[in-house]
């Protein structure tokens, strides 16, 4: 299974618009891997995770053929992960999809409710499916299981993706996992090939709220996954989803911190195959 990280920042991106903080000033000056758009990923070139306002820019800068994408997973309804107006442009007259399958959007009941009118206007070019938590489904040959996340809103998801004996846990946006999710993972006996963890707040041991994570929290999640036998020495652990308000979240710093702690620091365009 292949994962390509298209965007690796929090809602404000890095550098954030109109922001004069040190992280944003340094990112503008350095360019390259310091420039991060909002979090989004692509599995096997065909399965999109989240669709935000940066999607067209990501397709252009990475040379992606989005006509190959027939399934989209939505983690939650915040606009940096789920930009409802973008889905309207799948409609006939805006996009020509003669003979192609519809774009199927998978997500929580909140996602289905938010897309109801757009699906009706798309006249068959767009389908939205409510996927209950802990209930696997097929998305273009990938077995997908939505798991409950902790993000301060009613129905956020993280996703377990499985194909041909490989498994990816994509855990954004979330704080420490709810116990229901830990219990499901423990029962699943899955062996994780790659884990992408939210590191919004950067290089601190802990934070005072549940909606995101930091280096310390990511280490504790990794250790618990290993203690349950869900991950091992060959599991790839990635730190992802960085905020300019976090501590030492520039790539130049985070790549060193991540390497020291046994992680990979993501950047826009990072591609990994497991």
pLDDT digits (tens, 9 = 90+) for 114-146: 999 999 999 999 999 999 999 999 999 999 999
Question: Which region, left, alpha or beta, applies to residue 140 given φ > 0 means left and ψ of -120 to 50 means alpha?
Answer: left
pLDDT value at residue 159: 98
Under CATH, which number does the domain 2-273 receive?
Answer: 3.60.15.10
pLDDT value at residue 166: 98
What does the pLDDT average to over 22-36?
A: 98
Q: How far is CA 24 from the centre of its chain?
A: 22
The number of residues making up the chain comes to 274
> SS3 of 60, please?
helix
Residue 169 near residue 157, CB atoms below 8 Å: no
Instruction: Name every residue whose Cβ is closer than 8 Å to that of residue 162 and which is 6 or more positions away in sequence.
Output: 142, 143, 144, 145, 168, 190
CA distances from 28 to 9, 35, 36, 252, 268 (A): 14, 7, 10, 13, 15
d(CA 6, CA 152): 25
pLDDT digits (tens, 9 = 90+) for 60-108: 999 999 999 999 999 999 999 999 999 999 999 999 988 899 999 999 9
Structure letter (DSSP) for residue 101: P
pLDDT band at 153 (very low <50, low <70, confident <90, very high): very high
Domain boundaries, the chain: 2-273
d(CA 259, CA 248): 14
Instruction: Name every residue whose Cβ is closer than 8 Å to that of residue 63 and which is 6 or more positions away in sequence.
Output: none
Residue 43 near residue 1, CB atoms below 8 Å: yes
Preceding amide of 55 cis, omega within 30: no
Percent of the chain with pLDDT over 70: 100
pLDDT value at residue 98: 86
pLDDT digits (tens, 9 = 90+) for 156-195: 999 999 999 999 999 999 999 999 999 999 999 899 999 9
Q: Is the pTM of this model over 0.85?
A: yes
pLDDT at 43 exceeding the cut of 90? yes
CA distances from 123 to 53, 59, 86 (A): 22, 25, 15
């Amino acid at each position: 299974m292949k994962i390509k990280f298209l965007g690796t920042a929090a809602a404000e991106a890095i550098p954030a618009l109109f922001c004069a903080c040190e992280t944003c000033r340094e990112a503008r000056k350095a360019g390259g891997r310091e420039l991060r758009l909002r979090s989004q990923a692509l599995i096997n070139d065909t399965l999109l995770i989240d669709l935000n306002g940066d999607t067209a820019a990501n397709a252009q800068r990475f040379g992606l053929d989005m006509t190959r994408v027939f399934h989209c997973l939505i983690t939650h309804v915040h606009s940096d992960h789920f930009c409802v107006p973008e889905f309207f442009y799948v409609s006939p007259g805006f996009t020509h999809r003669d003979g192609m399958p519809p774009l199927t959007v998978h997500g929580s009941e909140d996602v289905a409710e938010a897309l109801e009118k757009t699906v009706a206007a798309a006249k068959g070019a767009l389908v939205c499916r409510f996927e209950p938590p802990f209930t696997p489904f097929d998305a273009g040959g990938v077995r997908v299981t939505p798991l409950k996340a902790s993000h301060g809103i009613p129905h956020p998801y993280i996703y377990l993706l499985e194909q041909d004996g490989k498994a990816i846990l994509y855990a954004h946006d979330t704080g420490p996992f709810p116990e229901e999710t830990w219990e499901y993972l423990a029962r699943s006996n899955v062996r994780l090939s790659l884990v992408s963890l939210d590191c919004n707040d950067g290089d601190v041991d802990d934070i005072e709220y549940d909606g995101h994570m930091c280096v310390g929290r990511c280490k504790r999640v990794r250790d618990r996954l290993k203690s349950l036998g869900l991950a091992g020495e060959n599991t790839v652990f990635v730190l992802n989803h960085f905020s300019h308000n976090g501590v030492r979240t520039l790539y130049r710093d985070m790549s060193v911190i991540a390497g020291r702690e046994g992680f990979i620091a993501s950047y826009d365009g990072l591609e990994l195959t497991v």
